[in-house]
Structure 1
Amino acid sequence: MRARLDPLFTQTLLKIGNGQEKTFEDDLIKIPAPLAINDPMAEESLDELIKVIYPDLASLTEVSRSINRAILTTKNCFVDEVNTKLINEFPGNLVEYLSFDRVENPSHEAEYGDLINSLTPSGLPEHRLSLKENAPVILLRNLDPTEGLCNGTRLICKKLDKNVIHAEIAVGEFCGKSVFIHRIPFEPPTDEQYPVPYTRTQFPLRLCFAMTINKAQGQTLDSVGVYLREPVFSHGQLYVAMSRAKTSASVKLLIKPPFNEHRLNYTRNIVYTEVLQAAEIV
């Protein structure tokens, strides 16, 4: 466990992960106050969380300072909310890359073109990808695993050309390796419903100032923000989010109260104990 040098935090994480943390009304658990933003109902509470995790954006042009921190949240729409705020504040000139979205039947282009542009299905890059040099990004496809380009690899944008992005692998065995990223075709997941079949050709990248909790599995971070605009919705998500941090001092949660605004720092923890029992974990 990453937090083994912080025994009290480790104990809290184990209780959350095993579903043994005390529950209250509506099956909520209470997060220790030192781990949470003080006034989650305030309009500027997200800005406060951002300042805790990214206190000095100008200094984050140094790779080691920008890549080892992130804000984790439940859904891509919340990821985009945070990433948009941060890329606008990040130093440098903004470069926008628009995807080429092509519907399978050309006769549907005029009717559905704008709608398709507005969609960002799970696992696909945005139609409008806004980047700056030195900004952190995460790879969305396995391009060349033998060279370190795997789905989930974190990189730093080094040079933004029209048809190629020069980047540097920021973590792992290939840390420091220079790579070139090109546009590739994507198709939306077959288990999701869309008006018409289509293909999106775009750079396989997403900003990773923020990322989904699921995408953060396996990552170790020096500073972790957890943005719970909505409660977690699947087994083990809260544990995964909080356990990316090494100590209690390096994690901060913003919990937007979903039920009663007077019950601050309460949130849902979904744990299927029968799954853990079958795996002989508890």
Structure 2
Amino acid sequence: MTLDDCLTEAATFQMPCDLRRLFATILVLCEKTQIRQLCDKHLASMCEDYHRTQSNEVALEQMVFRDIRDLLQSMGKDIKSYGLPDLVDIYGDSDVEYKEVTEERQVEVDQEHLDIFSRLSTEQLAGFNDIMDHVTNQKSQIFFVDGPGGTGKTYLYKALLAKVRSMGPIAIATTTLGITASIMPGGRTAHSRYKIPIKLTHNSMCSFTKQSGTAELLKQASLLIWYEVAMTKSLAVQTLDGSLHDIMECALPFGGKVAVFGGDFRQVLLVVTRGTRAQITHATLLRSYLWEMICKIRLMRNMRAQTKPWFSKYLLRISNGTEKTIGDDYVCLPEDIVITYTKDEKQVNKLIEDVFPSLHTNAMSREYMSTRAILSTKNEHVDDLNDKMISRFPGEEKVYHSFDSIEDDFENNIDFLNSNTPNGLPPHVLKVKINCPIIMLRNLDPHNGLCNGTWLMMRAFQDNAIDA
């Protein structure tokens, strides 16, 4: 099984644009040998759609490589690093340099999101007007939209993005988690959009230069929104703050920009490996030098649970620490939302049936599969539930195995390596069926919503290629 086999199989069921994305993904994420030979062999398949408008072979090749270049740029890579043919850009250097600006200006404004303004609550409207006043009059300010889940934070962000973009200026939408990026129009993860390093120190800077497209995008932006910032290390926010000081040549917070943070510190906080409660809290934005400079907008009315006000009040008591506890760490759940836990398999099966009723009937429904999930605090429980779910799923099962190897280590054997599932990697044995949900683990094409955490449905599979 080779990368050549993967592209050959994919060409039997994927569109040429998808093949170009797959080729770019292979360049970034796979161990590559003989890249030019691989490209030459599959060039015809990757340019089939362009044959309708172009017959010149050189021009066809250039069109394909421009697309691959753009895909690589969206993943933070440069096509010049891969030994592919020289690219003659008919649009000139500025198109390459400011591609990020072009992409942001091409984000469509949904009329439905513009109409949100007329439906904002009193709390939301007050926050909206305050933020828009600063955007319109170019007044520097960082805001934090604080509210429990269901109070309409995302609703407010969408209204702000639509309003600013409809007026012409650039509004950048970012999130902490890839899985929430697709919720925001034009959303990207903050690390991807701002080139924030993975390993952070108090002296870290974003990896873009003053002459880069990202820098130009930030210079032109009138509004920056960062969703779920409560789950972000304060060092990441401070790194962007320092970089904005540099490119804007302004000592004001965030280089004088209008920025809107959002999140809920009552919910799950960021992950600090083996960290104590104090260490986790210390790593949040609450302990940053920026926190005292931030204007807080508080949303308290739960819009999502209006039909069950008792539930929203119950959640609020838990998050505020006023709900009665058993010891220091446990709270009692209402009996009507609890399935009693026992080691009996029947109870696990009942949980699955309650969350996924009539699975065989609804397995092909995108809405059904995308609106329910079983959460667990331990990976071993997740693995067990996934095995049970895939066995219940209708259709033929396909099993994929990872290719693992050990370099210069005679103490560990391959079986031990295969038994581990590190964060960010799939299991050694991956079982799938047609229409079953899968989760993307890499940022393949963030501009089009293909990023870490995106849910996909399995549509077809072969030995070396998956269509989702």
TM-score, structure 1 normalization: 0.55
* 2:442 is aligned with 1:163: no
* Residue 387 of structure 2, aligned match among 84, 91, 99: 84
* Pairwise CA distance, 1:98: 0.4
Percent of paired sites with the same residue: 41
Unpaired segments of 5 or more residues in structure 2?
Answer: 1-148, 151-303
The one-letter amino acid paired with 1:13 is: L
Work out whether 1:14 is the aligned partner of 2:312. Answer: no
Partner of 1:48: 350
Whether the aligned pair in 1 keeps the contact of 2:434 and 2:459 (CA below 8 Å) is yes
Write out aligned runs for 1:106-145 (5 A): 108=410, 111-145=412-446
**Equivalences, count:** 164
- The one-letter amino acid of 1:86's match is M
CA RMSD, Structure 1 to Structure 2 (Å): 1.7
SS at match of 1:72: coil
Other structure's SS at 1:83 match: helix
**Equivalent residue for 1:148, pick from 426, 436, 449:** 449
Q: Does the 8 Å CA contact 2:363/2:394 hold for their aligned counterparts?
A: no
> Deviation per CA, 1:27-75, whole angstroms, max 9, x where unpaired?
42111111101x3226121111111001111122211111210000012
Which structure is richer in relative contact order (CA contacts within 8 A, separation 6 or more)? 1
Change (3 A) 1:26 1:41: farther
In structure 1, the residue corresponding to 2:426 is in which secondary structure?
coil
Q: 2: CA distance between counterparts of 1:24 and 1:77? A: 26
In 2, the alpha carbon distance for the partners of 1:162 and 1:118 equals 22
The residue type equivalent to 1:90 in the other structure is F
For 2:335, the equivalent position in structure 1 comes to 33
- Aligned-partner SS, 1:61: coil
TM-score norm. by structure 2 comes to: 0.34
User: Which structure: larger Rg?
Assistant: 2
2:435–2:457 CA contact under 8 A, matched in 1: yes
Gaps of 5+ in 1: 168-282
User: Hey, which of these two has a bigger chunk of helix by percent?
Assistant: 2
Give distance in 1, aligned partners of 2:389 and 2:330: 31
User: Within 1, Cα distance between the matches of 2:423 and 2:458?
Assistant: 22
Higher strand share: 1
Distance 2:412 2:329 in 1: 46
What is the Cα deviation at residue 111 of structure 1? 4.7
AA paired with 2:462? D
What are the residue-to-residue correspondences of 1:230-241 with 2, within 5 Å?
A: none
In the alignment, the residues of structure 1 paired with residue 405 and residue 325 of structure 2 have an alpha-carbon distance, to the nearest angstrom, of 49
Report the more deviating stretch, 139-148 or 46-55.
Answer: 139-148
The aligned counterpart of 1:245 is: none
> Alpha-carbon deviations, 1:96-145, whole Å to 9, x = none?
1101001122x63x951111011111221101110001001111111110
Runs of 4+ in 1 over 6 A off after TM superposition: none
Residue 375 of structure 2 corresponds to residue 72 of structure 1: yes
